[in-house]
């Protein structure tokens, strides 16, 4: 990786961290803001949260092709501007239609940003440095979100709508900072790629960068199935089934849920680079399989809170420990899954693959809370815990199966044969990536 590529990557990572910092000011308080501060009710607040998912699902099937045709820079900048407009709109909107419309713009903007940034990180890294680059992105994003949430909690005042306008204004500014940081990165307008190792075209025996080609890539399809189960079994439960179980069964106070989420963030921040050193030379499929076992233990620990009725100490210990274990698993996935998506993608469809995987994640984040909420509402907590344990064991089984479809270079790029091609962009006469002065 050249010095210029490293400088470009640092700008991208800084912009991403600052946008996560801005998100921390608004994400924890969005439901309360819509339902109570704007006095629009819980139903409208639920519709607003659903609108984020709907907007993302509407955008992601198409954004990958735009990234591959127009480049990730313009898409990331446009997404950042749209997200800034949506965030500021949420802060100023006082009626139900305006709040929902603003949420749709914000959701679409964020949906465009995610695969565009993932593509930029791939362009500014090599197979050897890519795991560390994605781990750094995840670390900085969680750190920024956590710090933003803490500061937002100090500024928020549910009796004054103006305090929330200030929070959303900070969020909007941070999105604009992300857009400005990305806009200063200068990449070749028509990048020329060396072949990834190996490309999906090699698997399929012909060129193609659309959905038909992607769906014909057996390894990518299996990774998407695995990704859906992973996001369903972890992220999709944080704000629905798991939190309901913690309050109703473990009998912990809602305020202690904040402590549990803080434990999750702390585990990620403290363990990320320790975990990276342990896993970056291991086979990716085996690392993901180990995550399934870690999360199996996490769900067993969470379930143990219901074995000792009315014991608040046991409940708090079990739930906080479970959230921390989820964080360790997340730290193991961050240098593993996103780089694997990149190494599976043909050079002409990198944006398409990143967008497809983001779509799978969004689907899981839409289905997961719905299923968890329905099971919690029906009081089926025993069935709920068993279901998530089975899903976690399924992650292990699916990961081991995926490993059979990966080449040695895809499963462990640090052991790749010297001289393996690197999917980094370069101009026709030079492979430099520069940044604006």
Residue-wise pLDDT tens digits, 240-291: 788 889 888 888 887 787 788 889 999 999 999 999 999 988 999 999 999 9
Inter-residue contact 81 to 19 (CB < 8 Å): no
Quick one: pLDDT at residue 259? 86
User: Comparing 3-184 with 217-410, is the CATH topology the same?
Assistant: yes
Q: Running along the chain, 437 residues long, what does each successive block of 10 average in pLDDT?
A: 78 94 89 88 87 92 93 95 96 93 96 95 89 94 90 86 93 96 73 41 44 90 97 86 86 80 90 92 94 97 84 88 95 95 91 95 90 87 95 97 93 64 40 44
Quick one: pLDDT at residue 95? 93
Quick one: pLDDT at residue 210? 72
Whole-model pTM: value is: 0.85
Quick one: pLDDT at residue 415? 67
Give CATH superfamily name and number for 3-184. Answer: MFS general substrate transporter like domains (1.20.1250.20)
Q: Does domain 217-410 have CATH number 1.20.1250.20?
A: yes
Quick one: pLDDT at residue 274? 94
Quick one: pLDDT at residue 31? 83
Rounded Cα distance, 249 and 231, in Å: 23
Residue spans of the domains in the chain: they are 3-184, 217-410
Quick one: pLDDT at residue 299? 96
Quick one: pLDDT at residue 240? 75
Quick one: pLDDT at residue 1? 59
């Amino acid at each position: 990786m050249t010095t210029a590529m490293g400088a470009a990557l640092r700008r991208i990572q800084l912009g991403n961290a600052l946008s996560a910092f801005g998100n921390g000011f608004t994400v924890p308080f969005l439901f309360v803001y819509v339902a109570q501060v704007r006095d629009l009710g819980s139903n409208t607040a639920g519709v607003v949260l659903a609108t984020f998912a709907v907007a993302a699902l509407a955008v992601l099937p198409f954004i990958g092709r735009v990234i591959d045709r127009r480049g990730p820079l313009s898409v990331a900048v446009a997404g950042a501007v749209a997200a800034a407009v949506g965030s500021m709109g949420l802060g100023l909107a006082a009626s139900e239609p305006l709040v929902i419309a603003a949420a749709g713009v914000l959701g679409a903007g964020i949906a465009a940003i995610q695969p565009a940034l993932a593509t930029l990180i791939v362009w500014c890294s090599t197979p050897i440095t890519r795991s560390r680059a994605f781990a750094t992105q995840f670390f900085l994003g969680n750190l920024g979100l956590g710090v933003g949430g803490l500061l937002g909690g100090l500024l928020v005042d549910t009796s004054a709508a103006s305090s929330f306008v200030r929070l959303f204004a900070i969020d909007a500014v941070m999105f604009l900072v992300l857009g400005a940081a990305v806009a200063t990165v200068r990449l070749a307008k028509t990048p020329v790629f060396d072949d990834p190792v190996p490309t999906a075209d090699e698997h399929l025996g012909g060129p193609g960068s659309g959905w038909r080609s992607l769906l014909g890539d057996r390894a990518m399809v299996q990774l998407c199935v695995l990704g859906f189960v992973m996001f369903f079994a972890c992220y999709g439960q944080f704000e629905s089934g798991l939190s309901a179980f913690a309050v109703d069964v473990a009998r912990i106070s809602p305020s202690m849920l904040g402590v549990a989420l803080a434990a999750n963030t702390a585990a990620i921040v403290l363990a990320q680079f320790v975990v990276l050193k342990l896993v970056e030379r291991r086979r990716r499929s085996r690392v993901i399989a180990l995550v399934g076992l870690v999360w199996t233990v996490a769900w067993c620990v969470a379930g143990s809170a219901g074995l000792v009725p009315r014991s608040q100490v046991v409940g708090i210990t079990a739930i906080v420990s479970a959230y921390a274990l989820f964080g360790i698993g997340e730290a193991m996935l961050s240098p593993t899954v996103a780089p694997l998506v990149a190494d599976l993608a043909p050079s002409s469809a990198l944006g398409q693959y990143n967008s497809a995987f983001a779509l799978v994640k969004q689907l899981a984040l839409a289905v997961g809370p719905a299923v968890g909420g329905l099971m919690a509402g029906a009081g089926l907590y025993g069935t709920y815990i068993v279901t998530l344990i089975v899903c976690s064991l399924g992650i292990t089984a699916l990961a081991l199966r995926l490993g059979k479809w990966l080449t040695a270079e895809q499963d462990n790029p640090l052991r790749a044969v010297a001289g393996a091609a690197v999917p980094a962009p370069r101009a026709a006469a030079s492979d430099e990536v520069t940044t604006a002065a």
